[in-house]
A = this chain, B = another copy of it.
Amino acid sequence: MGVDISKLRFDRATDLIPVVVQEERSLEVLMLAYANRDALLKTMETGYAHYWSRERKFLWKKGETSGNVQRIVDIVADCDTDAILYVVEQTGVACHTGARSCFHNSLLSTSSNTT
């Protein structure tokens, strides 16, 4: 079922919604970030992932500096409309460490599983 942006439940305290980011082809989970309404609108308008930086407090386009942009394939809300999924085509890597995905620190093993 389709859903409208006006139906999304941004956090009442922060005005943000968490965004899970998944690579379209590999299906790898790349990162978790946050969007406010402006970041989401900018993402929908431009077709490239934008987020709200909680630390630096500004709207940013992923890859604006590094070139590692994320082209939007789909944006999907969850059943209670308080989280969204960006399905993206990732250019280069998602993580600033150089890893493909930001999720690369296992809590269940002490061995490296950076990909």
A→B interface (CB under 8 Å): 1-5, 13, 18, 20, 22, 26-29, 31-32, 44, 72, 74-81, 83-85, 95-97, 99, 102-114
Contact = CB atoms under 8 A, between A and B. Distances in A.
Contacts of A111: 2
Contacts of A20: 20, 29, 32, 103
Contacts of A79: 95-97, 99, 102, 104-105
Contacts of A77: 103, 105-107
A28 B27 contact: yes
A88 to B, nearest CB: 12
Given A22-B29, A27-B27, A79-B105, A1 B114 contact: yes
A103 to B, nearest CB: 5
B76 A107 contact: yes
